[in-house]
């Protein structure tokens, strides 16, 4: 049963969503726009062609101040934080003692503090875990007074540069404080669509003004959670709770790239984070299963939970995320598959409504990433 809207939290631009005719749904304790009158398909294609504006204020923003922050974070994530330059952001994973993933997050090194952005559904548990795990020398503040927006797509850089020329100089995973349309913002060159673009943190009091000014540009359309999901799926990006969870390791999830070389078994600072022994063994010896990307012909989407079988009809995997990919014009999915069946030439099939659909293996993503690297 869905929560009544009166019990759901609302972001700082809830009235804007209503004004724009958004279809609002419960999501992670918030009332969020799943789509606007343009519709999910057109919102998706618009983001790929021009620029989409997403309200992601439901996510958690956290500031860490104090002494020994980098060392304290390295005790919790398999990422190189000690050598993370000022003004740089890094994708990270909070792991547990079994090597599973508690959440995935972004960590930014600012001049005298660090900023963390965590998933909406996990933010309360993440904050409790961080408070219990970080030393007394590190102070944690949840930035409840901040909204967060993503401006994504091939025209996003042009649009933001009109307000703020220095935004155009940021490359992928760089961050900076800057004034956008007269409003003080913290901007990162990052996103969750596979496209070039930005995530913009701003005071709640200025959020509606900023959004209205961005939407004045003809290239920019508001985009809901529906298209956000299909965009990230085509780009091969994981969704926590579907593709990542506490029982699945980063290596099983095909996220070796998210384990910094310095933190791997032969690195400069190996291990030292929860589950490091298990993850280290998997790096060197392999895993029982792997997350793979697939597409299939036809129009019928292959949804989460669909069974993957081999040519003998034996179950060898399960779909963790699936749907229709508007850019590629067909069904796309991710699945965890037993390691013996992960060779790209091994025939695999998804069971959908008692039919067996042949799967085509895709390497990493269905489209080349367009992150701007200078």
DSSP per residue over 137-189, as a string?
TEEEEE-TTEEEEEEESTTHHHHHHHH-GGGGG--TTBEEEEEETTEEEEEES
Confidence of residue 328 (pLDDT cuts 50, 70, 90): very high
Task: List, in sequence order, every residue forming a beta bridge with 199; answer none if it has no partner.
Answer: 150, 188
Superfamily of domain 5-55+145-234, CATH level 4: Probable tRNA modification gtpase trme; domain 1 (3.30.1360.120)
- How distant is the alpha carbon of residue 318 from its chain centre? 21
The domains of the chain are located at 5-55+145-234, 288-362
Please give the radius of gyration of the chain, using alpha carbons only, rounded to the nearest integer.
Answer: 21
For residue 2, what pLDDT is reported?
47
List Cα–Cα distances, 191 to 11, 74, 241, 352, 366, in angstroms: 19, 23, 19, 32, 17
What class is the 288-362 domain?
mainly beta
pLDDT tens by residue, 39-92: 999 999 999 999 999 999 999 999 999 999 999 999 999 999 999 999 999 999
For 337-343, what is the mean pLDDT? 97
CA angle 38, 223, 164 (to 5 degrees): 125
What band does 166 get if pLDDT is binned at 50, 70 and 90?
very high
At 366 the pLDDT is 85
pLDDT exceeds cutoff 70 at 1: no
> Are 59 and 123 in contact, with CB atoms under 8 Å apart?
yes
pLDDT of residue 186: 98
356: Cβ contacts below 8 Å, ≥ 6 apart: 309, 313, 349, 350
Judged on CB neighbours under 10 Å (0-12, 13-18, 19+), 46 is buried
| Token code pair at residue 290 | 């792997």
Out of 279-288, 295-304, 362-371, least confident range: 362-371
Whether the per-residue pLDDT at 108 is higher than 50: the answer is: yes
Q: Which of 105-114, 213-222, 275-284, 362-371 has the lowest mean pLDDT?
A: 362-371
Banded model confidence at residue 3, pLDDT cuts 50, 70, 90: low
Tens digits of per-residue pLDDT, 167-182?
999 999 999 999 999 9
pLDDT more than 90, % of the chain: 94
Q: What is the pLDDT of residues 238-268, one digit of tens each?
A: 999 999 999 999 999 999 999 999 999 999 9
pLDDT confidence bin for 192, thresholds 50/70/90: very high
Residue in this structure with the two tokens 């929860």, named with its chain if needed: 274
Q: Is 370 exposed, middle or buried (0-12, 13-18, 19+ CB in 10 A)?
A: middle
Q: Indicate whether 300 pLDDT > 90.
A: no
Do the two domains 5-55+145-234 and 288-362 of this chain adopt the same fold? no
**CA 22 – CA 250 distance, rounded (Å):** 36
* Extended beta strands in the chain, E state: 23-27, 30-35, 51-55, 60-66, 88-95, 101-109, 114-118, 138-142, 146-152, 175-180, 183-188, 197-203, 220-223, 289-295, 307-309, 315-325, 330-338, 349-352, 355-358, 360-362
Mean pLDDT of 1-26: 88
Phi, psi of 26 (to 5 degrees): -70, 135
Mean pLDDT of 31-36: 98
In this prediction, residues 95-103 reach a mean pLDDT of 98
- Confidence band (pLDDT; 50, 70, 90) for 368? confident
Measured between its terminal Cα atoms, the distance across the chain in Å is: 48
The reported pLDDT for the residue numbered 298 is 84
Token representation of residue 183: 């409003």
- pLDDT above 50 for 306: yes
């Amino acid at each position: 049963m869905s929560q009544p809207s009166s019990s759901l939290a609302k972001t700082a631009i809830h009235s804007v969503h209503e004004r724009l005719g958004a279809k609002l749904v419960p999501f992670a304790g918030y009332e969020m726009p799943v789509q606007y009158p343009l519709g999910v398909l057109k919102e998706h294609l618009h983001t790929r062609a021009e620029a989409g504006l997403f309200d992601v204020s439901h996510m958690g923003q956290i500031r860490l101040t104090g002494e020994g922050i980098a060392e304290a974070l390295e005790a919790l994530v398999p990422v190189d934080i000690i050598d993370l330059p000022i003004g740089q952001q890094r994708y990270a994973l909070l792991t547990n003692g079994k090597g599973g993933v508690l959440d995935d997050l972004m960590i930014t090194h600012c001049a005298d503090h660090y900023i963390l952005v965590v998933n909406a559904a996990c933010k309360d548990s993440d904050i409790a875990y961080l408070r219990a795990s970080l030393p007394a020398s590190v102070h944690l503040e949840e930035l409840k007074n901040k909204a967060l927006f993503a401006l994504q797509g091939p025209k996003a850089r042009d649009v933001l540069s009109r307000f703020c020329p220095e935004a155009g100089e940021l490359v992928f995973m760089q961050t900076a404080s800057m004034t956008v349309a007269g409003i003080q913002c913290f901007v990162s060159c990052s996103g969750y669509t596979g496209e070039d673009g930005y995530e913009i943190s701003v005071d709640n009091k200025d959020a509606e003004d900023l959004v209205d000014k961005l939407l004045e540009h003809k290239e920019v359309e508001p985009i809901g959670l529906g298209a956000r999901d299909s965009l990230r799926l085509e780009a091969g990006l994981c969704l926590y709770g579907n593709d990542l969870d506490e029982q699945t390791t980063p290596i099983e999830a095909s996220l070796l790239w998210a384990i910094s070389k310095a933190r791997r078994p032969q690195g400069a600072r190996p291990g030292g984070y929860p589950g490091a022994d298990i993850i280290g063994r998997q790096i060197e010896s392999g895993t029982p299963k792997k997350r793979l990307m697939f597409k299939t012909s036809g129009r019928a989407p292959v949804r989460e939970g669909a069974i993957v079988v081999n040519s003998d009809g034996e179950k060898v995997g399960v779909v963790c995320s699936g749907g229709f990919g508007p850019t590629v014009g067909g069904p796309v999915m991710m699945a965890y598959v037993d390691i013996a069946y992960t060779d790209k030439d091994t025939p695999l099939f998804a069971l959908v409504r008692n039919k067996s659909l042949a799967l085509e293996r895709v390497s990493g993503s269905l489209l080349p990433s367009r992150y701007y690297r200078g």
